[in-house]
């Protein structure tokens, strides 16, 4: 597989090598060793989630308190989504910026984003099925959101997504600057310290 760091530091696009014949296709969609090489430490996966969305559904921007936070490894197993990683780390050189990866059944890419980054996607097809591997179990009290329609962030949804469909939870979420003022966002320096602890644990093992 090929692993490429995205414009937002600590997030990566993963493109698997596919092996096809007259029976179908085989691929490795997750390799802990290859991802560890890129990230600098192994990923302790603790929960797997799946969502199914109709075209136009927007999920996110979501993030969890750090520590422990939730690093995510995300792929689409059916249909297509445009997946976004958003830098919400206050003080980061790319604070408020984003990058995206098309996840679909053609290239079968995945995206990895470290703890402390925001995550969202928009479904480009009906029955878009997204599977997530995450590094901590869900804890509602530690989960937060940012309104994905915040002009300050400026996510761009493809025309084929149609009219955005959001949950009340996401439309009621604060905008980026409001979340920062409320003290909900991680800081870049704190996240760098947190990543360093993960790297040092790996080096001691």
pLDDT digits (tens, 9 = 90+) for 9-63: 999 999 999 999 999 999 999 999 999 999 999 999 999 999 999 999 999 999 9
187 or 200: which leads in pLDDT? 187
pLDDT at 204 over 60: no
Residue 155 has pLDDT above 70, yes or no: yes
Bridge partners, residue 73, by sequence: 112, 133
Active site residue 62: yes
In the predicted model, what is the mean pLDDT of the chain? 95
Residue 94 belongs to a domain with what CATH number? Answer: 2.60.120.10
Q: pLDDT over 90 for what percent of the chain?
A: 95
Q: Which residue has the tokens 């936070």?
A: 69
Catalytic residue among 12, 30, 41, 62: 62
* Gap between the terminal Cα atoms of the chain: 25
The verdict on whether 132 is a catalytic residue reads: yes
Q: What mean pLDDT is predicted for residues 158-178?
A: 97
Total domain count, the chain: 1
Percent of the chain at pLDDT exceeding 70? 98
Quick check: 202 pLDDT over 90? no
| pLDDT tier, 142 (very low <50, low <70, confident <90, very high otherwise) | very high
Note the pLDDT of residue 65.
96
121/186 Cα distance (integer angstroms): 21
Show the domain range for 41.
Answer: 2-204
pLDDT value of residue 199 = 81
pLDDT band at residue 200 using 50, 70 and 90 as cut-offs: confident
Q: pTM of the prediction?
A: 0.94
* pLDDT tens digits, one per residue of 59-92: 999 999 999 899 999 999 999 999 999 999 999 9
Return the closest-CA partner of residue 171 out of 57, 50, 52, 54. Answer: 57
Q: Which of 41, 78, 119, 132 is catalytic?
A: 132
CA 38 – CA 108 distance, rounded (Å): 19
């Amino acid at each position: 597989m090929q692993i490429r760091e995205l414009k937002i530091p600590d997030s990566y696009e993963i493109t698997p090598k596919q092996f096809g014949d007259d029976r179908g296709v085989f691929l490795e969609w997750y390799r802990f060793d290859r991802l560890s090489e890129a990230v600098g430490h192994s990923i302790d996966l603790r929960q797997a989630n799946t969502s199914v969305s109709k075209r136009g559904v927007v999920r996110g921007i979501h993030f969890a308190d750090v520590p422990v936070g939730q690093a995510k490894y995300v792929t689409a197993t059916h249909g297509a989504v445009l997946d976004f990683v958003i830098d919400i780390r206050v003080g980061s050189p790319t604070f408020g910026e984003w990058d995206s990866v098309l996840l679909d059944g053609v290239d079968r890419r995945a995206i990895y984003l470290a703890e402390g980054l925001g995550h969202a996607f928009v479904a480009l097809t009906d029955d878009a099925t997204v599977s997530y591997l995450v590094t901590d179990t869900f804890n509602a009290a530690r989960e937060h959101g940012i309104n994905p329609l915040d002009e300050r962030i400026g996510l761009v949804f493809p025309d084929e997504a149609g009219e955005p469909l959001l949950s009340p939870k996401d439309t009621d979420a604060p905008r980026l600057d409001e979340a920062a003022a409320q003290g909900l966002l991680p800081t870049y320096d704190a996240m760098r310290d947190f990543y360093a602890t993960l790297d040092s644990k790996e080096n001691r093992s």
